[in-house]
Amino acid sequence: MKRNVFGAAIIVGGLVLYTGVAGFAGNPTPASAKSAVSDCAKAVVLADPTPLSSEARTEATALNAETTAALAEITAEANSNVDEAVAESTDEDGAKDAAALNAQLTEVVADACKAIASLKAEYAAAMAELTAGAAEVEQPEVDKQDVEKQDVEKPETDKRDSESNHADERGSEREGND
């Protein structure tokens, strides 16, 4: 089950990456590059921890907070890289080659969307583990009824007696053959 969820998360992450970068193709501008990174980040949907047990809910809430912080960090880093690429293009000899700037912006978006897809896959795997762990813990225990077992004495059978007699006979035969 975990393997299927993890595989699905990777496929979804790949599709998000592909659609985010493919939708960005053409002549990217700094604003469209930032928008594309934002769109990739919006594809991450955090799960509601409410239905989980109290311990799992606490862990899921912490995981949601960490994932949100990581998304903000990835987005901020990508936006900074976009601004840096634009600043480099205008600092030097005036206008930088537009194709080189487009390639640089496309690379920034692709890297950011790839990092977001990876984060999304990790998040999905962690949530699947929490959900599976909560399902195992939350299974209700069935109260066993107190049922008195009746003491039943088993009568000794002839088989037990005959086996012990045969063993004695075998042992005596062996002694005599030595």
Amino acid at 42: K
| pLDDT over 50 (residue 43) | yes
Q: Where does the pLDDT of residue 22 fall: very low under 50, low under 70, confident under 90, or very high at 90 and above?
A: very low
| pLDDT over 90 (residue 128) | yes
Among the ranges 83-97, 143-157, 160-174, which has the highest mean pLDDT value? 83-97
* Domain spans of the chain, in order of start: 2-137
Write the burial class of residue 151 (CB in 10 Å: 0-12 exposed, 13-18 middle, 19+ buried).
exposed
DSSP 18-79: HHHHHTT-SS--HHHHHHHHHHHHHT--PPP-TTS-HHHHHHHHHHHHHHHHHHHHHHHHHH
72-124 pLDDT tens trace: 999 999 999 999 998 887 755 555 578 888 999 999 999 999 999 999 999 99
Both structure tokens of 20: 């985010």
Separation CA 43–CA 61 (nearest Å): 19
Separation CA 17–CA 170 (nearest Å): 81
